[in-house]
Amino acid sequence: MDKWNNQVIKRPHQIEEYQRQAEKLRNSTFINCWSASESMSLSMWELFGGGLESVAIKTTKSKLRKVVENYSSDYFNGEVVRVNYLDNLIALSHETNQEVWEIISQSNSTISASFSIKPIEYQYESEVRAIFTPTKTRSGEFETEMPTESAIKVPIHMNNKGPKNSMIEFIEEVHIHPFLDEESMFYEVVRDINYKYDIGSIPVKSRTIKALEKDLYK
């Protein structure tokens, strides 16, 4: 890492170009975030659920990887990576620099690896990321600066014209908020939506927690 830093310092005229490319890359990269925790976390529901009327989708890493591989194109490279959690990312020490360098150098994609590092304070998330980064032209420019024009869309059902994946293959279960049970109106709404779009085979589940409900939602 120190050697790389020295190379940049010796070429100050390139720093502005590196910064321009980094900003363009950041604005043109898709990151889809998942949790690989073996059990559901109430704190994750509170942080990302936004209230009782929220759902969590369960799938597998292999299914996520299959979608990413099938939707990679001439414009985007896709990869599924585990997030690495490091300490002292704000005030980088020599040891932290070495850890970052090892993560990047051992990755299949240097660019994807750079988007897979977070402060250790977020370790409870057990995050897995599906990352789509833009490809480059022969001149070194990125193929697209407008990711919304080439967005990844997974259809509900398979069809003969396009993608090789569908929502009904990808989603294993849909879970409602753990403070709601199968007698709740929200459970019925989610289940009815599944039937409306002919994906009733995807189970809607509730793992109810009652103990803290009155304290958190008065």
More confident residue, 176 or 1: 176
DSSP 84: E
On the question of pLDDT at 128 being above 90, the answer is yes
On the question of pLDDT at 7 being above 70, the answer is no
The least confident of 13-22, 101-110, 180-189 is 13-22
On the question of pLDDT at 158 being above 80, the answer is no
pLDDT digits (tens, 9 = 90+) for 35-55: 998 888 888 998 998 889 999
CA distance 169 to 135: 28
pLDDT digits (tens, 9 = 90+) for 91-115: 778 888 888 888 888 887 787 888 8
Q: What is the pLDDT of residue 24?
A: 78
Residues 52-79, mean pLDDT to the nearest whole number: 87
Residues 15-39, mean pLDDT to the nearest whole number: 82
Residue 204 three-state SS: strand
Highest-scoring range by mean pLDDT, 89-93, 132-136, 188-192: 188-192
On the question of pLDDT at 213 being above 60, the answer is no
Residues 16-29, mean pLDDT to the nearest whole number: 78
Do 52 and 179 meet the contact criterion of CB atoms below 8 Å apart? yes
Spell out where 121-206 has E strands.
127-134, 173-176, 204-205
Per the DSSP assignment, residues forming a β-bridge with 173 are 58
Q: What is the pLDDT of residue 199?
A: 92
Contacts (Cβ under 8 Å, ≥6 apart) of 86? 96, 99, 100, 117, 118, 119, 120
Contacts (Cβ under 8 Å, ≥6 apart) of 96? 86, 87, 88, 89
Average pLDDT, the chain: 81
On the question of pLDDT at 67 being above 90, the answer is no
Q: What is the pLDDT of residue 166?
A: 85
On the question of pLDDT at 214 being above 50, the answer is no
CA distance 23 to 104: 19
